[in-house]
Amino acid sequence: MKILKSTLPNTSILKPDEKTFDYIDSFESVFIDTNDDITSTKIGKSFFMSGPKWVDTLFAFRNKLVGLFGLKTSGTMTDRQKMLDNFKGEKGEQIGLFKVLDKTTDEIILGEDDKHLNFRVSLFVDQQSGDKTHKKLIISTTVKFNNWFGRLYFLPVRPFHKLIVPTMLKGIIRHVEN
């Protein structure tokens, strides 16, 4: 599976605010949607179900560390499977640190606002021209720093982020194609 660096899609919900973000990255890959039934909701659910264990370990470490500074954490995930089973991808739903902020047929926006920074993750399904079974999934991340601590916080996060997102993209595609 080929993962490519990309740009924020022109029709993304986030595009009008592009110039206000302090950080943006995007990665894309093509997937097969044999039954033409993979929606932004299904992609959103797969986002939470397809991450590798090492990402969960990094998030657990992050939560312990940032909790000391009063930042938002994922909280306990004891009912994670129940939350996933009931996930509809509707605005306001939350799993861990990720809240559904907006949704269209082709895109779901996850994210959170905190005192140090605001982040958004766009999961954008782009229909490939001419072939309804080949689609592109573009994951874009945007960050807006609210203060110097946000910039400081993101320095060690950034290199991990560039490893995590392509890995998550591969996992989501494997999950939706099965």
The tens digit of pLDDT for each residue in 73-95 reads 555 555 656 767 778 889 999 88
Q: Running DSSP on this structure, what letter comes out for residue 13?
A: T
Residue 99 belongs to a domain with what CATH number? 3.30.530.20
Q: State how far the Cα of 138 lies from the Cα of 142, in Å rounded to an integer.
A: 13
- Say yes or no to pLDDT of 56 above 80: no
- Single pTM value for the model: 0.84
The total number of structural domains that make up the chain:
1
Range of the domain at 99: 4-177
Confidence of residue 127 (pLDDT cuts 50, 70, 90): confident
Angle at 32 between CA 164 and CA 177, to 5 degrees: 60
Residue of 115, 139, 154 whose CA lies nearest to 4: 139
